[in-house]
Structure 1
Amino acid sequence: MAYHIGDILEGTVTGIQNYGVFVALDDQEQGLIHISECEHGYVKRVNDLFKVGQKIKVMVLDIDEYSKKISLSVRALTDDPNVTENWHRKHYWTNRHLDFGYQPIAQSMPQWLEQAEKDFGVPEIN
């Protein structure tokens, strides 16, 4: 069977390693769920999440054209519990209401020196 990136499939866990989980997709094809794609957040032990023979739903993340290796994910099928609605909202800061502009330094320097004298007691330079 030909698989495509984005396909959601059911497979059977056939092996567990420290770096991930091997999943049989059919009689001939097998894929790997890397430890980073097992669940949101830090995964200490893959053995705590999966057991050999377990049926799981996975998403095809990538298919290597040369080696035909299939990368799978369980994490892609679940919502991230740390992301809230406010996380997706973009906030923009703008200065369009402020009267800033580009002025020559020589024009601003007298104000800066006057302010420095008030704030820090710096005597004027003659």
Structure 2
Amino acid sequence: MAIEVGSKVQGKVTGITNFGAFVELPDNSTGLVHISEVADNYVKDINDHLKVGEMVEVKIMNVEADGKIGLSIRKAKPQAERPERPERPERPQRPRGNNSRGGGNNRGQQYQPPENFEQKMARFLKDSDERLTTLKRATESKRGGRGARRS
């Protein structure tokens, strides 16, 4: 019997590691069931789900060029046995407006083209000068006067 991707076969668990389990297939080849393919829910310890020597039904997921065979136990189960995943409630979509920052309401404002570099630089320098002036005033008042140093 040739190994075909998508087919379901019976196999025997021959070894268990922390990342999965090795399963011997009917044609004496061995494939790996990754820990994420053991069960539909989160698997912390694979030993809770599988034992060495146990017979399991696996689905052949892929066969690589170097002979490695990828297997899945959870996809080998019929749909009726698989627990349904709860549907996520659909979230209402937010209207997509322009990507202006500030979070304010832009209604009633006229469209303003994006600033060029010179305009941005002028605005930055003006803001910077205002902040420096405010900072100097605050520190001078704490020194008690015009900021003259005492010797």
TM-score range for the pair, normalised by the shorter chain length: 0.5 to 0.7
Match of 1:45 in 2: 45
**Whole-Å separation in 2 of the counterparts to 1:52 and 1:81:** 25
What's the offset of the Cα at 1:4?
1.0
**Whole-Å separation in 2 of the counterparts to 1:57 and 1:91:** 38
Identity %: 38
**Whole-Å separation in 2 of the counterparts to 1:58 and 1:27:** 14
**Whole-Å separation in 2 of the counterparts to 1:27 and 1:3:** 8
Match of 1:83 in 2: 85
What letter corresponds to residue 72 of structure 2 in structure 1?
Answer: S
Ranges of 4+ aligned residues in structure 1 off by more than 4 Å = 90-93
**Whole-Å separation in 1 of the counterparts to 2:52 and 2:25:** 14
Unaligned runs of 5+ in 2: 94-107, 111-151
**Whole-Å separation in 2 of the counterparts to 1:71 and 1:28:** 15
Task: Say which structure is richer in strand.
Answer: 1
**Whole-Å separation in 2 of the counterparts to 1:2 and 1:37:** 22
What's the offset of the Cα at 1:75?
1.0
What's the offset of the Cα at 1:27?
4.9
**Whole-Å separation in 1 of the counterparts to 2:109 and 2:92:** 31
Given that 2:58 and 2:73 are in contact with CA atoms closer than 8 Å, whether structure 1 keeps it comes out as: yes
What letter corresponds to residue 6 of structure 2 in structure 1?
Answer: G
**Whole-Å separation in 1 of the counterparts to 2:109 and 2:37:** 57
Superposition RMSD in Å: 3.0
Match of 2:67 in 1: 68
Q: Say which structure, 1 or 2, has more relative contact order (CA 8 Å, 6+ apart).
A: 1
Match of 2:5 in 1: 5
Match of 1:25 in 2: 25
State the TM-score, normalized to the length of structure 2: 0.54
| Count, aligned residues | 98
State the TM-score, normalized to the length of structure 1: 0.63
What's the offset of the Cα at 1:26?
2.3
